[in-house]
Every structure is written in structure tokens, then in C-alpha cells.
């Protein structure tokens, strides 16, 4: 496998974001540097050996896009953790630059006008290889299929002649002005404008074709600019749609899912690798999300399990499990009955059917032997009881994992509250012990690590729920419990910081820092192990 | 402007239909430019030979930039793409509408949809 199958970005760029740049970005589209390379900032900065060649073995055909503008940087490798993936964040200006760069790279190869090259790339979803292959084998056919021609004449709005009739509004004659693309279909400029505007409002951009039925000719940017010259809003919307489609069309790009965030993230981990590599990325706006499913960061559970879990939590299957485990149906009218006391002689409230709760048979067959059922051991009643207890066991298992999952989610929420409290604490300690700001940072550092661990623990229970019980799972659970224990201890420490009879501030600080470091080590251990296990196929997951 | 365009276009279509009527298509007399009814006669040699159906056209204010609403009224042909309420599942009436298309063109499309049918059946639900 060659090095350039990976996208490794210049690490210097990662910090090339000064506050000024960021401010400029937020305010204007064309603020200079609007793309930055990033790696999740919450990841701890300890050094570790990492080799991209061994770690992530994608052998997917999807990697034709790297090259030229991305330089593989060997130096960056040492800093990357096994569970981290490379990604790049783009602002609006960065996206335009990226598009331009992709077009400019191909332009000399194709010997086509820039506009044609751009449209061709769009038609091929920016995949260079199939495009080049198509052009080399059948240049004319490829262009025609896309609705393009080699050298289209510059679009012009012309005056009509005697033979001109607009097929849309039937206006005619020399008084009208019209536009025709290279396909020759002429429509008056008013109709063309309305047609174009309608499509733009539907969210279309480059896919808009000539207004004649079945004509495949693409309208393209130049004619659109010409037609919408007097409608700046519509033109802006057209161009916005263009950018939008660039990100949507490229499999390696995704919009940040945060509300109102206009950044996009590029990540080269192909879809086929999402089962073994969790493509967690973080936007410039701070939002950490999974590039695969676009949900919030769910490290270390792979997307497929997260999807199953969410579905399970969402639907009523567990309610029905409970019903299954705790109730029985009246044989006669199918009403659901929960027995909350009393004897086994049941009378259905709905249909007055009398039956035995133990064997479910009609009470009349029980004669006068009250409170005991001598039909208990019959096969049919045995089976019924088995299925009830099995369903109860499954429910209990689910609840075991769900309680812990939910607990960590809530604790993570509390940790955010804790952060505010901690900030107050830090101020207090600063005042009381005349310490500098930097000297009390250990507390907020501890809370950061805490939140990080809570998130990981939360999703680790989803992993655990689906993991088949074997020796590997025991190792996983040991790691999990180590981290959990350490996390709880750290939480307790941070929650009750300084008391009169407690340790001195110096002692306390030392304890917290030690604990934080320990917790972080546990965190790194479990993440590294889970990710390695995913890639080695070490974990067995239950299939549905 | 839109209304003027619509009226001009519809009058022109009306004139054209009257001047050069297409086979199997007959325009009913109408007192409103907004709603037309057109009678279609099934083409000979097809499953719908000699059957007669009525299509109702409602033109939006933005016509021809937006498609007219076209449904069968009265007896509805039994066809896999035509629902019993008269709704027609035809791409050019929705996603692939194009302002150059006319009432005549729509009728032709519906007719060819009927003619190409090989087995009368109701749509799958």
C-alpha cells in the first residue's frame, strides 16, 4: 500500500488559525484562510507511536481524489492516536478554493474550457478517474451524455428575428430578446429567467437543463449569470446551491450538522471502513460528530451498532417486552392482564372469562381444588412459562446496559454543570490561597477529562450490549470497569474540592492531577484497545 | 404579467387545438379559461379501443412555468398508473414538467400511456 492512499495533512496548518482569522471568517465569506486542518482538540497530546500503514488498512477504490494539493506529512503521524482519523474543515471561501483547485488540476489534461470542465466534474460527482476514463474512450459521447459540448459559444441574449417564436409564451418577432444554448433551443429571456428561477427555488443549480423537453444541455454558470444579472438575490441563491451541491455530491465531504454552522468537513475514511473505524471529526464551531452517520460523537461504538441501539431505545419494543414478561392475555378476548395479587382464579374484567393464571386453562376444569393447579406440568403451560422467563431475562439484560448508558449520559450533563461550579471553585481557591490563574487550571482540566470519559463510557455500554460473551469481552469489560471506577473517583474528588479538615491545597492539587493523569491513561487504553479490536475483528457482535 | 402570459398561452393553445385537432382528442366546450375538459378516445388495436374518458385540466396562475393539474373525471380507466380517484402517475405532470409542454402534448402522453398498457390492472397499494 502506498503512502498517498492516505490523507495526511500538514500539522502546521492545524494551528494556523489565529483568533483574527476565525473572526474574519465568521463575518465574511472571502476572509483569507478559511480552511484549517484539524484533529480533535480534546484528544490528549501525549506522544505515541503510530503508523498509518499498519493502523488503517483501507483498500478501497475511493482514493483517487488525493494528490497534488494534499501533502502527506510524516511528522504528523507520531501525534495521531489510533482512534483518530484525519479530516479537514472548510469554510465557505475554503470550499470555493477547493473546487477551483480541483478544476484547475484537471483543466490542462482535458483541454476544455473551465466551465465545461467544472460541469463535467460535477456530473461525475468530482470523481476524476471515471471522468478521465470516459473522456479517453469516448470523448464526444461522454460530453454528450453529460449535456455538454467541447467548446460552447459564449451565451448571448439576442434580438429575435421574423422566425422566432418562444415555445413557452408564444411571443414572437424582432421585438423580443431570446437566449439559446448551443443546442439551439430558443426561448425568450423572460421565460428563460422564470424557468431558471423556478429551478433555483427548488434547490437546483448545475443540474438545470435547457427548457426544451428531453434536451440534456446543461445551462451552466455563464448563461445563468447572464439571465439572472438583474436579480442579485436569485443569483446568490444559485451560487449557494452550487456550493451546497459540491459538498452533497462528494462522498468525502459533509456539512457540519450543528444548526447555522456553514462549515463542511472532509474525511477520507471510506464508507466501507466505517464498521471498523469510527470517523469522528470536529468542526471549527466545536461540534464533534461522526462523519459516517452525522450523529453526535459516539466513539467507541461503530455506526451500525449505534443505529441499532437508537432504534431499540426509540421504539416500543422494550415496553412490549415488559408487557410480555409481566402480563398474560385472556385466552378468550385477548385483553392484557397484569396480575397484581390474589389467587390464581382469574376472572377477566372484559369478558368475564374465568381461567387459571398458572396453566391458563379454563377454571371450570379445575373442579373444586382451589389455589392449586394439578395441570401445571403439561407441555403447553411449560412452554408458555419458558417464553415468559426468556423474555424477562432479555429485558433485564437490556435494562442493565441501558441504565448504565443512561447514567453516563446524565452524568455527562451534570459534568457540564460541574464545570460552572468548578470555575467558581477555581476563583475561590485563587483568592483564598493567592494562586495564579494558571495554577488552578488543574480543576477544569480534570472536568474536561471527566466529560470525555463519560461520553466514552456511555457508548461503551452500547458496544457491550451487542458484544457476544467470550474471553475478549471479559478483557473489554475489565478495561471498562477500570475506567469507570477511576472516573467515579475523579468525579468525587472534583465535586468536593477543599474542606477545612481536608488536605492542603498543594496536596489536593497533587491528588487531582495524579488522578486525572491516571484516568486519562485508562481512557486511552480502552479506546486504543477497542479500536484495535474493531480493526482486528476481535469483537464478535450479535446479529439480529 | 404571469396572468397575461397564461391567458395568451392558453388562448394560443386553444386556437391551435381547434385549427389542427389531434386524433382521439376532443376538446369540450368551456366557459372558463382556467378549467378545460378533454375527451380521450382509446386507440384502436389497444386494450382501451373505443373507450372514452374525460381529462380535467386546471391551470395554475404560473402556467406554463408550473404544470397544470390533470385528473380523470367520470369513468376512470383501469390502468396500473391511474388511481381510482382519477390521479395519474405520469412524470411529465410532476417532476419532469417542462414549460414547453402543452395540453395537446399531455393528452398524447396519457394516450400513449394507455396504449402501451399490456394488462388492465389497478395500481398496487
Lowest mean pLDDT, pick from A50-64, A85-99, A322-336, A361-375: A50-64
A449 lies in some domain: yes
Query: In the structure grid, which three cell numbers stand for residue B23, read together?
Result: 386524433
For B40-68, give one letter per residue: b (16+ CB within 10 A) or e: bbbbeebbbeeeebbbbbebeeebbbebb
In degrees and rounded to multiples of 5, residue A415 shows phi and psi of: -60, -35
pLDDT in tens, B3-50: 788 888 999 898 888 888 888 888 887 778 889 999 999 998 899 998
Q: CB distance A213–B101 less than 8 Å?
A: yes
Q: Look up the CATH number of the domain holding residue A199.
A: 3.30.40.10
Average pLDDT score, chain A? 79
In a domain, A41, yes or no: yes
Residue A382 lies in a domain: no
A542: pLDDT strictly greater than 90: no
- Where does the pLDDT of residue A383 fall: very low under 50, low under 70, confident under 90, or very high at 90 and above? low
Domains held by chain A: number: 4
Is the model more confident about A122 or about B21? A122
Position A544 in a domain: no
Query: Residue B91 belongs to a domain with what CATH number?
Result: 3.10.110.10
pLDDT bracket for residue A173 (50, 70, 90): confident
* Segment (H or E) for B55: strand B52-58
Tens of pLDDT, residue by residue over A428-464, are 878 887 778 787 788 888 988 999 999 999 999 999 9
Asked if residue B123 is part of any domain, the answer here is no
CB contacts of A198 in chain B (<8 Å) are 65-66
Distance from A123 to chain B by nearest Cα, in Å? Answer: 19
Contact check, Cβ <8 Å, A213/B64: no
Whether A395 shows a pLDDT value over 80: the answer reads no
Has residue B109 got a pLDDT over 90?
yes
* Predicted local confidence at residue A73, as pLDDT: 40
Minimal CA separation from A260 to chain B, in Å: 30
DSSP assignment of A278-334: --EEE-TTS-EEETTT-SB--TTS-HHHHHHHHHHHHSTHHHHHHHHHHEEE-TTT-
- Please judge whether A195 and B65 are an interchain contact, meaning their C-beta atoms are less than 8 angstroms apart: yes
The answer to whether residue B56 scores a pLDDT higher than 90 is yes
| pLDDT higher than 70, residue B111 | yes
Question: Is there a domain that residue A109 lies in?
Answer: yes
Question: What is the span of the domain harbouring residue A177?
Answer: 157-236
Q: Which has the higher per-residue pLDDT, A116 or A58?
A: A116
Strand partners, A290: A280
A260 and A362 share a domain? Answer: no
Which of A25-34, A75-84, A254-263, A412-421 shows the lowest per-residue confidence on average (mean pLDDT)? A25-34
A198 contacts B66? CB cut-off 8 A: yes
Same-domain status, A106 and A67: yes
Per-residue pLDDT, A12: 36
**B90–chain A Cβ distance below 8 A for any pair:** no
Domain extent, residue B73, equals: 2-115
- Using an 8 Å CB-CB cutoff, list chain A residues near B8: 169-171
Q: Indicate whether A409 pLDDT > 70.
A: yes
pLDDT at A331 over 80: no
B100 touches chain A (CB under 8 A): yes
Same domain for A498 and A423: yes
Q: Does B66 touch chain A (CB under 8 A)?
A: yes
Identify whether A523 is part of a domain: yes
Per-residue pLDDT for A483 more than 90? yes
Query: Which of B5, B92, B100 shows the shortest C-beta gap to A167?
Result: B100
* Number of structural domains in chain B: 1
A31 pLDDT above the threshold of 60: no
Contact A264, A256 (CB under 8 A): yes
What integer is the mean pLDDT of A314-323? 68
Q: Which residues of B touch A170 (CB under 8 A)?
A: 8-9, 12
* Contact: A211, B64; criterion CB under 8 Å: no
- The answer on pLDDT for A216 being more than 80 is yes
Most confident residue range from A49-53, A61-65, A349-353, B18-22 = B18-22
A195 vs chain B: nearest CA distance in angstroms?
A: 6
Cα dist from A178 to A155, A172, A184, A224, A329, whole Å: 11, 10, 11, 13, 75
A338 and A232 within one domain? no
A447 and A472 in a single domain? The answer is: yes
The pLDDT of residue A316 is 60
In the 8-state DSSP scheme, what is residue A349? T
CA distances from A10 to A72, A77, A456 (A): 7, 10, 28
Co-location of A255 and A122 in the same domain? yes
Query: Residue A343 catalytic?
Result: yes
One-letter-per-residue 3-state SS of A80-142: CCCCCCCEEEECHHHHHHHHHHHHHHHHHHHCCCHHHHHHHHHHCCCCHHHHHHHHHHCHHHH
Between the CA of residue A383 and those of A65, A152, A354, A433, B62, what are the distances in Å? 59, 77, 21, 70, 67
Residue A74 lies in a domain: yes
**Among the listed residues B101, B91, B92, the one whose alpha carbon sits nearest the alpha carbon of residue B9:** B101
For the cut 80, the answer to whether the pLDDT of residue A28 exceeds it is no
Residue B105 falls inside a structural domain? yes
Backbone φ, ψ for residue A498 (5° rounding): -110, 130
Alpha helices in B1-125 (DSSP H): 2-19, 103-115
Q: Is the pLDDT of residue A11 over 50?
A: no
**Does any CB of chain A come closer than 8 Å to the CB of residue B86?**
no
Asked, for residue B121, whether it belongs to a domain, the answer is no
**Using beta carbons and an 8 Å cutoff, which residues of A are at the interface with B?**
167-171, 191, 194-195, 198, 211-213
Same domain, A406 and A531: yes
Nearest by CB to A169, from B9, B98, B101: name it. Answer: B9
Same domain, A58 and A83: yes
Q: Is B98–A170 a contact, with Cβ atoms under 8 angstroms apart? A: no
On whether both A11 and A103 belong to a single domain, the answer is yes
Give the pLDDT score at A495. 81
> Which residues contact residue A119 at a Cβ distance below 8 angstroms, ignoring those fewer than 6 apart?
A146, A148, A206, A218, A220
With cut-offs at 50, 70 and 90, classify the pLDDT of residue A380.
low
Helix axis angle for A303-314 and A317-326, nearest 10°, is: 60
The reply to whether A334 and A364 lie within a common domain is: yes
* Residue B42 falls inside a structural domain: yes
Position A496 pLDDT exceeds 70: yes
| pLDDT score, position B34 | 86
pLDDT of residue B95: 82
Whether residue A528 lies inside any domain: the answer is yes
Q: Are residues A540 and A467 in contact, defined by beta-carbon separation less than 8 angstroms? A: yes
Based on the domain organization, do A223 and A257 belong to the same domain? Answer: no
The residues near A359 (Cβ < 8 Å, ≥ 6 apart) are: A373, A375, A376, A378, A381
Residue A363 and residue A429 share a domain: no
Torsion sign across C-alpha atoms A361, A366, A370, A371: negative
Q: Is the pLDDT of residue A35 over 60?
A: no
What's the CATH code of the domain at A515? 1.20.120.1750
Amino acid at each position: 500500500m502506498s503512502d498517498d492512499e492516505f490523507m495526511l495533512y500538514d500539522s502546521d496548518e492545524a494551528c494556523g488559525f489565529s483568533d483574527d482569522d476565525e473572526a474574519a471568517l465568521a463575518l465574511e465569506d472571502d476572509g483569507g484562510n478559511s480552511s484549517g486542518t484539524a484533529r480533535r482538540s480534546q484528544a490528549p497530546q501525549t506522544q505515541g507511536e503510530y503508523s498509518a500503514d499498519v493502523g488503517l488498512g483501507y483498500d478501497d477504490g475511493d482514493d483517487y481524489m488525493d494528490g497534488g494539493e494534499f501533502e502527506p506529512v510524516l511528522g504528523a503521524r507520531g501525534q495521531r492516536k489510533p482512534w483518530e482519523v484525519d479530516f479537514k474543515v472548510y469554510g465557505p471561501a475554503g470550499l470555493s478554493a477547493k473546487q477551483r483547485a480541483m478544476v484547475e488540476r484537471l483543466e490542462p489534461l482535458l483541454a476544455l474550457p473551465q466551465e465545461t470542465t467544472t460541469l463535467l466534474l460535477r456530473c461525475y460527482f468530482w470523481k476524476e478517474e471515471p471522468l478521465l476514463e470516459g473522456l479517453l474512450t469516448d470523448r464526444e459521447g461522454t460530453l454528450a451524455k453529460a449535456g455538454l459540448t467541447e467548446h460552447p459559444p459564449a451565451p448571448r441574449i439576442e434580438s429575435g428575428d421574423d422566425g422566432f417564436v418562444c415555445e413557452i409564451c408564444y411571443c414572437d418577432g424582432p421585438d423580443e430578446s431570446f437566449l439559446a444554448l448551443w443546442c439551439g433551443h430558443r426561448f425568450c429571456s423572460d421565460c428563460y429567467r422564470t424557468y431558471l428561477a423556478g429551478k433555483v427555488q427548488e434547490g437546483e443549480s448545475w443540474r438545470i437543463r435547457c427548457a426544451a423537453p428531453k434536451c440534456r444541455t446543461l445551462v451552466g454558470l455563464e448563461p445563468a449569470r447572464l439571465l439572472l444579472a438583474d436579480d442579485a438575490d436569485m443569483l446568490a441563491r444559485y451560487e449557494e446551491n452550487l456550493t451546497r451541491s459540491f459538498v452533497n455530491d462528494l462522498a468525502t465531504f459533509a456539512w457540519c450538522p450543528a444548526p447555522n454552522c456553514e462549515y463542511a468537513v472532509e474525511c477520507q475514511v471510506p464508507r466501507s471502513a466505517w464498521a471498523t473505524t469510527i470517523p469522528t471529526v470536529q468542526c471549527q464551531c466545536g461540534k464533534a460528530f461522526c462523519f459516517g452517520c452525522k450523529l453526535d460523537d459516539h466513539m467507541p461504538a461503530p455506526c451500525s451498532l449505534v443505529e441499532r441501539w437508537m432504534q431499540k431505545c426509540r421504539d416500543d419494543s422494550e415496553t412490549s417486552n415488559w408487557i410480555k414478561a409481566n402480563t398474560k392475555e385472556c385466552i378468550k378476548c385477548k385483553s392484557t392482564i397484569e396480575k397484581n395479587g390474589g389467587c390464581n382464579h382469574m376472572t377477566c374484567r372484559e369478558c368475564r372469562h374465568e381461567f387459571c393464571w398458572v396453566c391458563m386453562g379454563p377454571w371450570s376444569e379445575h373442579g373444586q381444588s382451589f389455589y392449586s393447579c394439578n395441570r401445571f406440568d403439561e407441555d403447553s403451560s411449560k412452554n408458555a412459562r419458558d417464553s415468559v422467563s426468556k423474555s424477562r431475562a432479555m429485558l433485564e439484560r437490556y435494562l442493565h446496559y441501558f441504565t448504565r448508558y443512561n447514567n453516563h449520559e446524565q452524568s455527562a450533563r451534570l459534568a457540564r454543570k460541574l464545570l460552572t461550579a468548578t470555575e467558581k471553585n477555581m476563583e475561590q481557591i485563587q483568592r483564598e490561597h493567592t494562586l495564579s490563574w494558571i495554577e488552578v487550571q488543574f480543576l477544569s482540566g480534570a472536568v474536561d477529562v471527566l466529560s470525555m470519559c463519560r461520553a466514552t463510557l456511555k457508548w461503551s455500554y452500547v458496544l457491550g450490549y451487542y458484544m457476544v460473551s467470550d474471553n475478549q469481552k471479559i478483557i473489554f469489560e475489565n478495561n471498562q470497569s477500570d475506567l469507570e471506577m477511576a472516573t467515579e473517583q475523579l468525579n468525587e474528588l472534583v465535586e468536593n474540592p477543599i474542606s477545612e479538615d481536608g488536605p492542603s491545597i498543594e496536596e489536593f492539587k497533587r491528588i487531582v492531577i495524579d488522578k486525572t493523569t491516571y484516568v486519562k491513561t485508562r481512557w486511552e487504553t480502552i479506546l486504543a484497545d477497542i479500536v484495535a479490536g474493531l480493526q482486528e475483528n476481535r469483537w464478535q457482535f450479535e446479529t439480529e | 404579467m404571469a396572468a397575461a402570459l397564461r391567458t395568451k398561452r392558453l388562448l394560443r393553445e386553444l386556437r391551435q387545438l381547434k385549427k389542427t385537432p389531434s386524433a382521439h382528442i376532443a376538446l369540450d366546450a368551456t366557459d372558463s379559461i382556467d378549467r378545460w375538459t378533454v375527451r380521450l378516445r382509446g386507440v384502436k388495436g389497444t386494450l382501451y379501443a373505443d373507450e372514452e374518458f374525460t381529462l380535467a385540466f386546471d391551470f395554475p396562475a404560473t402556467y406554463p412555468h408550473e404544470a397544470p393539474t390533470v385528473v380523470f373525471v367520470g369513468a376512470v380507466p383501469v390502468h396500473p398508473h391511474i388511481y381510482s380517484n382519477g390521479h395519474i402517475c405520469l412524470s411529465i405532470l410532476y417532476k419532469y414538467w417542462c414549460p414547453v409542454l402543452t395540453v395537446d402534448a399531455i393528452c398524447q402522453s396519457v394516450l400513449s400511456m394507455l396504449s402501451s398498457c399490456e394488462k388492465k390492472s389497478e395500481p398496487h397499494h
